[in-house]
Amino acid sequence: MRILIIIVVIALMPCLAHAQAPVSPEQKELYMAQTRQAKAQAEYYKEQIKLYRKWVETQTAQQTPKSWTQKLFSDPADTVGAAGTVLGAFLILTLFGLNASSSRRYRRDTQFYEALKRFGDEGSPFMRSSAAGLLGHMGMHREFSMWWDGSYGWQTPYRQTALDQLKARLPFEENASVAEAIKGAVQQLIHASGK
């Protein structure tokens, strides 16, 4: 406890020495002059802040709000940002459409090749009969094509292959029901193509 008291007394010694020193009248006058000067500066800055606030209020009151087109074309960063957003959205929609189109085409191609595979199954007349009907149906399928290989417009990508396969199989088919299904599919394709 005594050590604590000694530490506090040692810490407060400069304050006690300064408090006990007498202040001369010149120093008192200097302190009072400095205080008046600080108060005058504070008043000056308060007035400056008031003037600045009035100026800002008049400037904002005079400005008319800009329309979105004026804001867009007044700032190049906004213009570039908006153009990038529109271009990005267009690109995403285009890629989505191309992806959906190619995935549909892939599914149809797979279905067509599976029908050809089933049409060649020697062990099951039922499979050949249903495959003949499926080939006839898929041969009538039309799709709009915009490929760079020159095929532009409405195309029937499976018609000729299906017709060739059905005509090639018809003379060799031994099962009468399958032969009738093949004839029906061939007639359907010939009628649809206008031959």
Which residues are registered as beta bridge partners of 153? 145
CB 144 within 8 A of CB 153: yes
CB 124 within 8 A of CB 130: no
Write out the DSSP string of 48-87.
Answer: HHHHHHHHHHHHHHHPPPPPHHHHHHH-HHHHHHHHHHHH
Cα–Cα distance measured from residue 21 to residue 60, given in angstroms and rounded to the nearest whole number: 57
Q: What is the pLDDT of residues 106-153, one digit of tens each?
A: 898 899 999 889 888 888 888 988 999 888 888 888 877 766 556 667
The pLDDT of residue 17 is above 80: no
For position 173, what pLDDT does the model report?
A: 86
Delimit the domains of the chain by residue range. Answer: 79-193
Question: Cα dist. 134→26, 106, 108, 170 in Å?
Answer: 116, 17, 12, 15
Mean pLDDT, rounded, for 98-103:
85
Model confidence at 89, pLDDT cuts 50, 70, 90, reads very high
Helices (H), the chain: 2-20, 25-62, 68-74, 76-119, 125-139, 159-169, 176-193
157: left (phi over 0), alpha (psi -120 to 50) or beta: alpha
Grouping H, G, I as helix, E, B as strand and the rest as coil, residue 99 is helix
